[in-house]
Structure formats: structure tokens, C-alpha cells
Amino acid sequence: MTRGYSAVVLAGGDGTRLRSLTWQLAGDDRPKQFCHLLSAETLLAATRRRARRLIAPGSLFTVVTRKHERFYRPELADAAPGTVVVQPESRGTAPAILYALHRVALVAPERPVVLLPSDHYVSDDDAFMARVEGALEAAQTRPDRVILLGIEPIRPETEYGWIEPSELLLGPSPWPLYGVRRFWEKPSAPLAERLAQAGCLWNSFVIVAHPGTLGRLIRGAMPQLVEAFAPLVSRLGTPWEAEAARAVYVALPTTDFSKQVLQARPADLAVLPVSGVEWTDLGDPARVLATRERARWQLASA
């Protein structure tokens, strides 16, 4: 059942770390989100299907990058008008999120939005989206916080962000919500060991907040990025939007949302812990191959 929430699927990355593997699987240079890495569905199709458990088609936005058009066009043929956000170039996660937020704010500024990367595996879509729904409901009660879904770690991973929970903000039912004392992006191995032992959580990069709250978070960490977008914001929904986007993006540096926004503003964050659901970020060839092997084993033993 949809309740007026919005979602943004992030699908604009180049997937360079998986390029050799995706070439083997697809025979061309398509990024991982357009590949059939784990099943007959592409990762993007699986993410959009998962999102539609909660989100109406007209509120499901997808961020892509122009040079991938031959891959995303057939994938998004059923997308509602105005919900495909086309970046002229890839400039990292922070500009992608900000551009999509401005588009969401045109149609649904008062309701929480969830950001969903398109390169994740989850073992149980219903269970995972139930946690997302819990975070969306929590955002109604705590509109001042940007809520991260934090995954209970199974190893001292150095390629993920880590979240240290602090005081209880809401709870315990159905899932507790905690403040965030500190955020570490891709810590060293010794630090990751200490964080795991201290009860810290992996950052899934599934993010829930009111659009205005998320916008204020970005402004607090990167005011120059928000200011750079002003010429584009004034042309959203007009025939001049694409031209304005090109002019803005050509001058943008590549910026990472986790490192340059989340890590910089922990006091504005909250975390909803997720356990009992297997989750993997498919950004690394070894993780992809291990997940493919587990999926085959689970299918064979079912």
C-alpha cells in the first residue's frame, strides 16, 4: 500500500570497479545497475520493483546519466512522466541526490522521501521494505532528522560507511530509532574491527527524510554545491532545464555524499538498525561473486 511517500532510485554511476566483470556478463560497457548480476532482472529493475511495494509510480524518481541512455531508456520505458532525472554527467552522489530532491520538491515537498541505491542485494524484499516504511513513519515524527538504515555488521568491512548510534529517539516499536554520535566513511581495518566490537552499524546508504530536511543537511555541509544549483532550480520543468543542467554540471567537482555530507553532520542524523535481513552492496567484484554463489546455493536448497 502506498501512503504518499516518494522514492529516488540512484542509478547514475559508472560502475568502474565492476567493469571487467560486467563486460564478461553483458559483452559491453554498461554499468552494473543495467546488468543481470544476480537474476533475470537487472539491478535497476529489481530496485524499482522493490520500491513499488511502498511507492506509487508517479512518486518513484530515478536518477540516471545521459551517456547511459541506450541502457536506461528501455529500463525506464514505463516510468511516469517527469520522474526520470537525467544528469548531463556523473559528478558523484551528492549532485545526483540534490538534483533529484529538487525534482521531488516540485510535486511532493511535504512528504518523506527514501533514497535507494540501485546496486544492492537484499535477501527479503518485503522485510527490508518494512524497515524502510518504519523509517518513513519515523520521519513523520522526527522531521528534523535524516534517517539512515544501519545494517548489523557481519565482518569488519573497510569499504562501507559505519554509524555509531547514540541515544534512543523513538521506540522500541516497531523498530527503534537512535541518534548518531559519529559517522566513519571507509575506515581502516583496525578501526573497522573496533567499530564492529563497539556495536556500530554499516551504512546501507538507504536514506529517509523530508526533502527540506535533506536539503538543509546538504546546505550545512556543502553550501557551495547548493548555490551552484540555483540556475538549474529556476528552470526545472521548463524547456531550458537540460541546457541549465549542462551549464551547472560542467563546473561541478565530483562529490561524495557519504564522505562530504553524512560524515560532516552526524548531529543531524538518526539510524534505524536492520537485522535479520541479508544485505550487500554490490560495488566490489568479490562481493558480487560471493552473493551470486549464495543465491545459487539458496535456490538449489529451496
**In the prediction, which pLDDT does 190 show?**
97
Place of cell 510535486: 107
Reading the block at residue 53, the C-alpha cell is 511495494
The answer for residues whose C-beta is within 8 angstroms of residue 296's C-beta and 6 or more apart is none
What tens-digit pLDDT sequence spans the chain (302 residues)?
A: 457 899 999 999 987 777 878 788 777 889 999 998 888 899 999 999 999 999 999 999 999 999 999 999 999 999 999 999 999 999 999 999 999 999 999 988 889 999 999 999 999 999 999 999 999 999 999 999 999 999 999 999 999 999 999 999 998 878 999 999 999 999 999 999 999 999 999 999 999 999 999 999 999 999 999 999 999 999 999 999 999 999 999 999 999 999 999 999 999 999 999 999 999 998 888 888 888 887 665 544 54
* pLDDT for the residue 18: 78
pLDDT for residue 296 = 64
pLDDT for res 61: 98
Query: Which three cell numbers, joined as nine digits, stand for 215?
Result: 536539503
Supply the pTM of this predicted model: 0.94
Domains of the chain: 6-301 (3.90.550.10)
Q: What is the pLDDT of residue 144?
A: 97
In this structure, how many other beta carbons lie within 10 angstroms of the beta carbon of residue 88? 18
> What percent of the residues of the chain are helix, what percent strand, and what percent coil, each to the nearest 5?
45, 20, 35
Dig out the grid coordinates for 278 from the structure: 541479508
Residue 302: the pLDDT is 45
Close Cβ partners of 77 (under 8 Å, ≥ 6 residues apart):
none
Identify the CA nearest to 7 among candidates 209, 147, 170, 166.
209
| pLDDT for the residue numbered 297 | 54
Pairing label, strands 279-281, 161-170: unpaired
- pLDDT value, residue 298: 54
- What pLDDT shows up at residue 2? 53
Q: Which residue has the cell 546546505?
A: 219
